[in-house]
Amino acid sequence: MKKLIVLALVALGASQGLHAQNDIEFGYFDHMSVGTSGGTDGIGFDVAFPIKDFAAVRAGISFVPTIKVDDEIHLKNRDIATYYPDIKIEGKSNIFDGKLLLDYYPFKSSSFHLTAGAYFGNDEIVKIRNTSPILRNPADYGTLGLLLGSGDKEYAVSTDKDGNALIKAKVNAFKPYLGIGFGRAVQKNHRFGVSCDLGVQFWGTPGLYARAKKTSGTTWEDNHHFKYDELGDDDDEDLKDAFEALEKITVYPVLNLRLTYRIFK
């Protein structure tokens, strides 16, 4: 038993010797850490460089693993409903961004930091397509499909030759970020570190886009922006609720935990 205790103490001392070091002096981009994070912005990987003791720059990527949701919408009072009143749909997330962030440490003795920067990359965050065909009649295959809106605001969403339509939920490709957090991006007296961040991405006004045209017109728009106030009484209630909710998500909360390892002395 005594031998085991001695061995444990030796191992603990060796471990401390590997990870605990005297404070080092930071210059400008003269050290580097690598990190991985997980949170509401997905899974992230980045590198960080210090700017003296008062700031650090982080650059990397983040992505949200694909999330799939299946649902069904009911089409009312449309000639298409004669054939396919209930349309099965599938939504898939599609979020992948680069990020460039600047941490500012207002207190030299604290790891509290203010962060500003941006996420940038994919603007199509969700893709929605039908998994049961939307067809009006054989002559319209590949052109006319799902009808949205009413009156002079009624639009037909185009389908492919199999009767499948695609609608995309889009936000700004460039998403400014502001946040606060605890933990240094590059550790001074340890190789390993832990930090957390809380902030928001500014998405702009999200919208749903599809290739569509007015049923009274002849010109197709490759990316028509459907708005909640364009929908009519005949449109599916769940679909209208989704349109209305999406337009309100102008900021996206970010909460993540980051693990770091300093690889340059």
CB 115 within 8 A of CB 176: no
Residue 67 lies in a domain: yes
Structural domain of 110: 24-262
CA distances from 46 to 18, 31, 33, 125, 150 (A): 23, 14, 8, 21, 48
More confident position, 213 or 252: 252
Nearest residue to 50 via CA among 21, 35, 28: 28
* pTM (2 d.p.): 0.78
Position 240 in a domain: yes
Q: Name the more confident of 234 and 88.
A: 88
215 phi, psi to nearest 5 deg: -65, -20
* Residue 196, in any domain of the structure: yes
DSSP collapsed to 3 states, 66-123: CCEEEEEEECCCCHHHHCCCEEEEEEEECEEEEEEEEEECCCCCCCCEEEEEEEEECC
The SS3 call for residue 27 is: coil
In this structure, is residue 195 part of a structural domain? yes
C-alpha 28: how far from chain center: 31
- The answer to the question of residue 15 being in a domain is no
Express each pLDDT in 152-198 by its tens digit.
Answer: 778 888 877 777 888 899 999 999 999 999 999 998 888 899 999 99
In a domain, 231, yes or no: yes
In a domain, 6, yes or no: no
- The structural domain count of the chain equals 1
CATH number at residue 92: 2.40.160
pLDDT tens digits for 112-155?
999 999 999 989 999 988 887 766 555 555 555 677 777 777 88
**79 located within any domain:** yes
Residue 97: CB atoms within 10 A of its CB come to 23
